[in-house]
Structure formats: C-alpha cells, structure tokens
C-alpha cells in the first residue's frame, strides 16, 4: 500500500477489455500474427515431444541414463534461442510479423509444459494437467499478445495503437482507461488481441493504483448461500433469482445447431472445406453462446460489486463444483450459475473495497444446521426446500437458513485477509458417523430467543415462524 495525499492506495493488476471494429485488411493482419504464434508453438512442441519420445524408446532398449539422448530445455529463454536459430528455415516469412507473435506461442508452451511437469511431480495442486497439444488452425482461438513496442490509447479514446498492427478502431470508448493513463494511476503492461463469439477484442493488462475503499457498512456481516433454485440467498432474507441465461437461449441455440449440422462442414479425411452457409451458421451459433456468457458475466459482476461495496464481511462456502458437475441432472444448471466465477470476483473485490471474504469449510453443515437453536439434522434431502427444525420448531427457507448459519460462522473466524478460511478446525474428511463440523450444540438457545448473527452484524432483523 502507498500513502498518496493522505489516502491509502492499492497496487493491483487490472484488465480493461474493449471490442474492436477491424477492417478486412486489419483482420487479415491479426490472423497472420495469430497464425505465427500457432506455428511457433507447434514447432517447439514437436521438438520437445520428439526428444521425449526418443528417450522413452531408448529406455525400452535398456540404454543407461547417461547414454540417453540429451534433454532440451523448455523454459521460455531456451525455446527462444532454439526458435531464433531455425526461424529462417521454418518460417521464411517471419519478418512480416512482430516478434511478439512468436513470443506468444512460445510463452504459452513454456507455461503449459511447466504446469504439466509440476502436476506430475505434485508441486501443482488441483486436478492433473495433461500434456500440451498441438494447436489446430480451425479449432484454436486466434490470439496474440504484445508486451513491448508502441501500445497506447489515442487521444480521441476511440482508437488504440499496437505494434505492427497500427491504429485500430474501438467499438466503444476507452475513456475509463484513458482517464487513468492521463492521471498517471495506470500503466499498460501488455495488450492481447483475441477473437471470440464472432468479434475481436483487445484486453489491456495494467498496473493500477486504486484508492482503498471502505464498505458502506464495514461492521456488517452477510452470509451468501449459492444454489440452483436461487442464484444466491443472503442472510438478510434477500434472495437473488437465478436468471438461467442458458435455458432461456437453449431453444434458439438448438435451432442454430441443427442448421449448422445440415450444412456441408469440413472433412479432414478428404480435405474438404466447409461451405459458406456452414460457416455463417457456425458464426451465428458462436454469437449465441457468447451472448449467454456475456449476460452471465454481467449479472455476476453486478451482484458481487453490490455485496463488496455494502458489507464488510462476506461468508461463502467452499463448494466442490467439480464434484457437483458429476450429477448429470444438475450439471448444466450448476455450470450456468457460475459458482466459481462468483467466488473469484468476491475475492478480489472485497480486497478493493476494504472488506474481507471468509470461506467456510467444505464440510460445514450449513444446510443441515438450524439457524435458531443449532440442531444438526442427520439427513436433509435436496427436494426439501423448507427447513423445519424438530427441536425449536423453526420453519424457514432452506437457502436462507444456510446463509444465516454462514453469517454466524464469521464471528468465530480469526484473521482479516482478503480471503480467510474458518478457524474452527473442522475435519476435512467425512467420518462414518457423519459430519463433525458443528457450530454449536443443539438446545443452547431457547425457542423464544433465537438468532443467527450478533446485533453488530445487523443481519438478524428477521421474524421466525414456528411449526404448529
């Protein structure tokens, strides 16, 4: 943090993305740069793979390790040296494209090989990373990244300048980025041109000095329970509806997919190219998918910005999204909701606004626990949308009950980092006798004096309904 004019500032890396309006000539130039990146990537991958296959074959012959074919480095500097030595023979047209185009492909391969190696050795957490694949001209997404050279926004804020590509027109004004650049609070680190959904975009990665914000209610705590029926249920009783953009557009997308399947598509075996009608149908289908993605991203940004700007502490669950997607009945709706993206946005937005994000343990029984007396049910079917407590008689919406339990959990959490896990010490594995992460013992609160969050949280202003 830097003290500037008696105000704290945060140094963050932020991206600004704008749509482009390219002329046919400019689009051919960008595609040429993206193709150069693909050529460099595929050449370097073939070189690394040939050496690895040769060493594997030699081991089957019983060759000692000291007599195997020497290994080659796959770091970015090593790949650069190898490419510069042969680029005149592999790509005689290399001078027509910027050096950043070849650097884009080599850098992507270097990071992919490092991730694969770290995943195999256990240095990288998460799911196993597969070996890099060759990039196809038809299936890969055209993209090129510029880190050096003339990268700037024009004074009219309607054009940008990139190396070798020149002056490109923006579809929208870049005033937000231009104001920061003129004020000296932002510095462009790189620019990436990428095509998606039938349109070209340019993304500027910038080092930005942001004023440290303060939430509107810094002492307030809110629990956020994510779900499919409702996108998010807050401990205040507010429910954010699930827009289900994919379901809304499913009918049109099926019609476009049928139209594309009836066209004459490409055939790799015979070398046949797709017809013009097939290409137009493919572009329309891609635009439909892009529109769904844009609507989903816009809704998540609005929700997370509102939560981060209002509450000082936000509590969410550590959901096993990969495991939830194994349920074939709910996989499409879970993927459409964007649980991981919502948590990712909350993680950095709470840091910008001066709040904190608390991530509850994955095994914390927020849905099975009564928010009134703390009783924990042994089983709770997914079809039971209303939580009924047999101990104190509380009747409450299932998601709201879980959100209130999450809000109450923030009281027991130590630390004030941007993303803090709970300090209850709950077990990470499920024992045969059931979950052991219990907030409090049942029966510790009377039926007439139930509550979920301390008064300073200002989220317990709700009325309870009791079963007869």
User: Both 203 and 234 in a single domain?
Assistant: no
- Tell me: pLDDT of 99 over 50: yes
> Measured on CA atoms in the order 87, 88, 91, 94, is the torsion positive or negative?
positive
Alpha-carbon span 17 to 205, nearest angstrom: 9
User: Both 182 and 304 in a single domain?
Assistant: no
User: Both 222 and 207 in a single domain?
Assistant: no
CA–CA distance from 423 to each of 410, 411, 413, 414 (Å)? 9, 10, 5, 6
Burial 406-441 (b: 16+ CB within 10 A, else e): bbbbbeebeeeeebbebeeebeeeeeeeebebbbee
H/E element holding 308?
helix 276-310
Q: pLDDT for 224-235, tens place per residue? A: 999 888 899 999
Average pLDDT over residues 5-9: 62
- Tell me: pLDDT of 379 over 80: yes
Assigned domain for 425 exists? no
Residue 375 — pLDDT band, cuts 50, 70, 90? confident
Q: pLDDT for 288-317, tens place per residue? A: 999 999 999 999 999 999 999 999 999 999
User: Both 333 and 294 in a single domain?
Assistant: yes
Assigned domain for 431 exists? no
Assigned domain for 468 exists? no
List 240, 317, 336, 361, catalytic entry: 317
Assigned domain for 443 exists? no
User: Both 301 and 251 in a single domain?
Assistant: yes
- Tell me: pLDDT of 82 over 60: yes
List 100, 107, 225, 240, catalytic entry: 225
User: Both 207 and 250 in a single domain?
Assistant: no
Higher-pLDDT residue of 371, 442: 371
**Which domain does 411 fall in, by range?**
217-264+278-415
- The structure's pTM equals 0.81
* pLDDT score for 457: 39
Alpha-carbon span 304 to 329, nearest angstrom: 27
Last residue of a domain, one of 397, 415, 433: 415
Average pLDDT over residues 26-33: 96
Assigned domain for 178 exists? yes
Assigned domain for 444 exists? no
CATH number at residue 231: 3.30.420
- Tell me: pLDDT of 446 over 80: no
User: Both 138 and 260 in a single domain?
Assistant: no
Average pLDDT over residues 268-277: 89
User: Both 282 and 411 in a single domain?
Assistant: yes
Q: Average per-residue pLDDT in the chain?
A: 85
User: Both 258 and 394 in a single domain?
Assistant: yes
Assigned domain for 294 exists? yes
Assigned domain for 207 exists? yes
Number of domains in the chain: 2
* pLDDT score for 420: 52
User: Both 193 and 239 in a single domain?
Assistant: no
- Catalytic, 298? Answer no
Residue 381 — pLDDT band, cuts 50, 70, 90? confident
User: Both 327 and 189 in a single domain?
Assistant: no
**Does residue 244 sit in helix, strand or coil?**
coil
Q: pLDDT for 186-243, tens place per residue? A: 999 999 999 998 899 999 999 999 988 899 999 999 999 998 888 999 999 899 999 9
- Catalytic, 21? Answer no
User: Both 256 and 392 in a single domain?
Assistant: yes
* pLDDT score for 7: 59
- Catalytic, 27? Answer no
* pLDDT score for 428: 45
């Amino acid at each position: 943090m830097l003290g500037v004019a008696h105000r704290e500032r945060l140094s963050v890396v932020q991206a600004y993305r704008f749509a482009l309006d390219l002329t046919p000539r400019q689009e051919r130039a960008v595609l040429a740069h993206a193709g150069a990146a693909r050529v460099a990537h595929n050449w370097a991958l073939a070189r690394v793979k040939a050496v690895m296959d040769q060493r594997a074959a030699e081991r089957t012959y019983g060759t000692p390790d000291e007599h195997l074919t020497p290994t080659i480095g796959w770091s970015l500097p090593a790949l650069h040296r190898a490419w510069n030595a042969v680029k005149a023979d592999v790509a005689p047209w290399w001078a027509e494209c910027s050096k950043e185009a070849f650097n884009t492909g080599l850098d992507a391969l270097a990071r992919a090989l490092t991730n694969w190696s770290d995943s195999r050795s256990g240095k990288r957490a998460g799911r196993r990373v597969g070996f890099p694949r060759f990039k196809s001209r038809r299936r890969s997404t055209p993209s090129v990244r510029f880190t050096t050279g003339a990268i700037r926004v024009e004074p009219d804020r309607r054009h940008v300048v990139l190396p070798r590509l020149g002056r490109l027109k923006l579809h929208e004004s870049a005033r937000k980025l231009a104001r920061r650049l003129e004020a000296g609070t932002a510095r462009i680190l790189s620019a990436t041109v990428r095509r998606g959904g039938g349109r070209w975009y340019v993304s500027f990665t910038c080092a930005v000095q942001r004023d440290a914000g303060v939430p509107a209610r810094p002492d307030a705590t809110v629990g956020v329970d994510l779900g499919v029926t409702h996108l998010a249920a807050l401990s205040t009783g507010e429910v954010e509806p699930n827009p289900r953009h994919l379901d809304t557009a499913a009918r049109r997308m099926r019609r476009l997919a049928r139209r594309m399947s009836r066209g004459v598509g490409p055939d790799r075996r015979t070398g046949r190219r797709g017809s013009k009608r097939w290409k137009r149908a493919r572009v329309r289908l891609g635009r439909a998918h892009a529109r769904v993605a844009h609507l989903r991203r816009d809704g998540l940004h609005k929700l997370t910005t509102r939560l981060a700007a209002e509450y000082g502490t936000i509590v969410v669950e550590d959901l096993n999204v990969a495991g939830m997607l194994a349920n074939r009945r709910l996989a499409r709706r879970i993927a459409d909701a964007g649980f991981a993206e919502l948590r990712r946005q909350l993680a950095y937005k709470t840091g910008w606004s001066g709040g904190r994000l608390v991530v509850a343990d994955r095994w914390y029984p927020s849905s099975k626990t009564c928010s009134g007396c703390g009783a924990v049910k042994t089983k709770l079917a997914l079809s039971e949308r209303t939580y009924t407590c047999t101990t104190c008689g509380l009747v409450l919406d299932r998601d709201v009950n879980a959100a209130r339990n999450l809000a109450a959990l923030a009281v027991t959490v130590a630390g004030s980092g941007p993303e803090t896990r709970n300090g209850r010490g709950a077990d990470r594995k499920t024992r045969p006798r059931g979950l052991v992460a219990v907030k409090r013992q049942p029966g510790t609160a009377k039926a007439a004096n139930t509550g979920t969050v301390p008064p300073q949280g200002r989220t317990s202003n709700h009325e309870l309904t009791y079963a007869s």
